[in-house]
Amino acid sequence: MTTLAQANLPAVMHQLTLAHYLFVSAAMFVLGLIGFVTRRNLIIMFLCTELMFQAAGIALVAFSRFHLNHTGEAFVIFVITVAAAEAAMGLALVVLLFRRRESLSAEEWAEMKG
Amino acid sequence: MSIIEKVQYIWPEIAMFIATCVVMVLGLSPSLAIRRLCSPVCGAALVIAGLLAVMGPDTAPAALPHLMPYAKVIVAGVGLLLLLLLAGTVDREEESLIATGRARFNPLRTNRAEFYAFFLFSLTGVMLCASASDLIWLFLALELTSLPTYIMVTVSTRGRSHEAGVKYFFLGALGAATFLYGFAMLYGGTGTTDLSGIRQHFAEHGINSIAMLGLLLSVLGIGFKIAAVPMHFYTPDVYEGAAAPVSAFLAFVPKTAGFLAIMLIASLPGWGYGPVAGADGVIRDGLGAGASLPEALRLTLWVMAALTMTVGNVLALWQNSVKRILAYSSIAHSGYMLVGIIAGPVGERFIDNGLAAVLFYLLAYGVMNVGTFAVLACLEKSGGAALQSGARSTGLETGATTEIETVDDLRGLCRTHPAMGWTMVLCSLSLLGFPPLLGFMGKFPLFTAGIAAGEIPLVIVLGINSAIAAFYYLRLVAAPLLEDPSPASPPATPTPFPARPMAALLSAASVLILVGFAGVLMKQSAKAGETVVSPGHTAGRGASDGVAAWNP
């Protein structure tokens, strides 16, 4: 079995540290948050929350490697499962709303105000 | 602790899960008699779960060793009230069509099985929050509490509940992603997801910045579950869009799960922080020297608490819909309870223990909240408000009726429907914290715990807010009690479900009767609020206590 060090990888791969992964993860989380707040299309907003979930997943795997235990990887399996359940539920709800409204815009929420 | 040892703490949840599977099958039966069994089976499951929680192990090796039995019993108890209230929420039209022979039973069109199963799933999630000993477990328990509620909101009425469900789902997913990221950071900062392991790490090595970020993000994300600022936007719209029984459910169940989770998260660093002079002479926060949460976490919770109660109470003043008033009041009550979390377990006595105050208040709030929503669920008026709001006419509606909605609809209720009117009066006074009702018994220890912890400014904010709240609660009291029925609006008629008034009367009676048992309840909640991370423990002692507790 080849380890990461023995694998035929470009040299730059060996210089990746925890910080790089955390940077990617934080960027994904923040982009997801910004997208959720600014975009009005329900599908895009849903994908933004998925982006935030997967950002946490990347952080967990990176930390798992950093701490040399498998807890984070186990956590990620659960995160992916829950994200899948949420996806099924969220898309079903969006389809239901689309059938009533013929629109995917979150502006449709404006009905209840006060 | 091995998985086998953990099972002894979760027998109530296992019983609930078995009942859930049974309900899912029963609700799809073509025979009405069998379909009707859903609700009794749920009730039996809640009673059994409550009994199992009482008979189960009293002490668990956790930061809050006696939390489980108390939390599970109040969840089962208020769950029974909610179950009575939920009667007939779904499938009302379907069932009436089938009963009159105008339609045949179609398992694809019925929601009863899923609705009751999701009800039990959600309550199971809250109980699992109380038993959580690991971040992964806590994450799954919180999600198990929330995911079913999205569907329950959506299917609860034909009118605005779709929008409410979608809105609730999206903001819920945002909250879940936030606290999940917080959990990931907590794991990153400490290298373990085990709650006692994290506590031990904090005691030995202090809190590094990644773990602190994790604590803050977790609290903010869980803020969605308790409807705390800045995650409160959904509350009024969702409560208004959902059917009244489901709104009552939303105001108690996710909130309880959220507060249990915040307690567990706050117990990781513990309430024993204060300024310590380090080896180099620099003064910084350290464990064991003071009696508060770490400063950053305390400040975040402080701002959340102050904003939450102020926003909730001030915005409630401008509302005319009873459900929106109750939604904003639900936000405000979360703010009150956050005071107890900030105060933490200052002393051994009930009135000094903020956590005990929160646990007691959750029960009190659950009971009186069910009472107010039950009045809305018990009365309906003819008229097409639901149709105007865009429900697609299926040609199946049988004399469309809507729940009573505005404060005007409550006018003169004490004369026209005395039981409902007096329930509204009692429960609103109790929510206001009027002595000697249950709400007063609940709010008083929040004040004393806050004072004991030295959070005087926050207690003043709490006092001012209780005064503001009087304005809108007294509207809810005055309308049924003092005013004449409004001639403009159609008269309210009772709904044909005898279980709903029963829920209303039981909550109204509990608001009075539980005051008599307040001593017992306070003793139990004081016990449930005891922690092994109470202030006064030095760093070393706190850590060794934790270890000793985990290896009985």
The Cα–Cα gap between B454 and B466 comes to 19
Residues, chain B, total? 552
Element (H, E) at B401: strand B401-403
Q: Give per-residue pLDDT as tens, B470-501.
A: 999 999 999 999 988 877 777 788 888 889 99
Fill in the DSSP letter of residue B226: T
The Cα–Cα gap between B518 and B213 comes to 39
Residue A1 domain flag = no
Report how far apart the first and last C-alpha atoms of chain A are (Å, whole number): 63
Residue B352 has pLDDT above 60, yes or no: yes
The enclosing domain of A30 has a CATH number of: 1.10.287.3510
pLDDT of amino acid B552: 33
Q: Are the CB atoms for B72 and B49 separated by under 8 Å?
A: yes
The Cα–Cα gap between B530 and B536 comes to 14
Cβ neighbours, 10 Å, residue B396: 12
Q: Is A96–B154 a contact, with Cβ atoms under 8 angstroms apart?
A: yes
Residue A60: its chain B contacts at CB < 8 A? 184, 187-188
Residue B264 has pLDDT above 80, yes or no: yes
pLDDT of amino acid B250: 95
Fill in the DSSP letter of residue B271: S
- For the whole model, what pTM was predicted? 0.91
Q: Is A36–B174 a contact, with Cβ atoms under 8 angstroms apart?
A: yes
Q: Is A78–B164 a contact, with Cβ atoms under 8 angstroms apart?
A: no
Residue A8 domain flag = no
Residue A53 domain flag = yes
The Cα–Cα gap between B297 and B266 comes to 8
Fill in the DSSP letter of residue A11: G
Q: Is B193–A71 a contact, with Cβ atoms under 8 angstroms apart?
A: yes
pLDDT of amino acid A106: 77
The Cα–Cα gap between A32 and B48 comes to 43
Residue B174: its chain A contacts at CB < 8 A? 33, 36, 49, 52
Q: Is A93–B150 a contact, with Cβ atoms under 8 angstroms apart?
A: yes
Determine the structural domain holding residue A23 and report its residue range.
18-111
The Cα–Cα gap between B128 and B259 comes to 13
pLDDT of amino acid B145: 96
The Cα–Cα gap between B350 and B353 comes to 5
Residue A1 has pLDDT above 70, yes or no: no
Which amino acid, residue A46?
A: F
Q: Which of B372, B374, B370, B367 is nearest to B517 (CA)?
A: B367
Residue A7 domain flag = no
Banded pLDDT at B56 (limits 50, 70, 90): confident
Banded pLDDT at B513 (limits 50, 70, 90): very high
Q: Are the CB atoms for B113 and B91 separated by under 8 Å?
A: no
Q: Give per-residue pLDDT as tens, A25-63.
A: 999 999 999 999 999 899 999 999 999 999 999 999 999
Fill in the DSSP letter of residue A109: G
Residue A56 domain flag = yes
The Cα–Cα gap between B328 and B225 comes to 14
Q: Give per-residue pLDDT as tens, B185-231.
A: 999 999 999 999 999 998 888 889 999 999 999 999 999 999 998 88
pLDDT of amino acid B88: 83
A99: closest CA of chain B, how far (Å): 10
> Using omega within 30 degrees of 0 as the cis cutoff, is the peptide bond preceding B230 cis?
yes
Q: Are the CB atoms for B210 and B201 separated by under 8 Å?
A: no
Q: What angle do CA B262, A76, B194 make, to 5 degrees?
A: 45
Residue B6 has pLDDT above 90, yes or no: no
Q: Which residues of A touch B (CB under 8 A)?
A: 22, 29, 32-33, 36, 42, 45-46, 49, 52-53, 55-57, 59-60, 62-63, 66-67, 69, 71-72, 74-75, 78-79, 82, 85-86, 89-90, 93-94, 96-97, 100, 106, 108-109, 111-114
Residue A35 domain flag = yes
Total number of domains in chain A: 1
A56: closest CA of chain B, how far (Å): 5
Mean pLDDT of B69-78: 95
Indicate the angle between helix axes B244-266 and B234-241, nearest 10 degrees.
Answer: 150
Tokens 């694809």 found at = B108
Mean pLDDT of B36-42: 93
Report how far apart the first and last C-alpha atoms of chain B are (Å, whole number): 10
B453: closest CA of chain A, how far (Å): 35
Give the SS3 label for residue B532. Answer: coil
C-alpha neighbours within 13 Å on the C-beta side of residue B114: 17
Q: Which of B179, B188, B133 is nearest to A82 (CA)?
A: B179
Q: Is B151–A89 a contact, with Cβ atoms under 8 angstroms apart?
A: yes
Residue A71 has pLDDT above 70, yes or no: yes
Residue B191: its chain A contacts at CB < 8 A? 63, 67, 69
Banded pLDDT at B355 (limits 50, 70, 90): very high
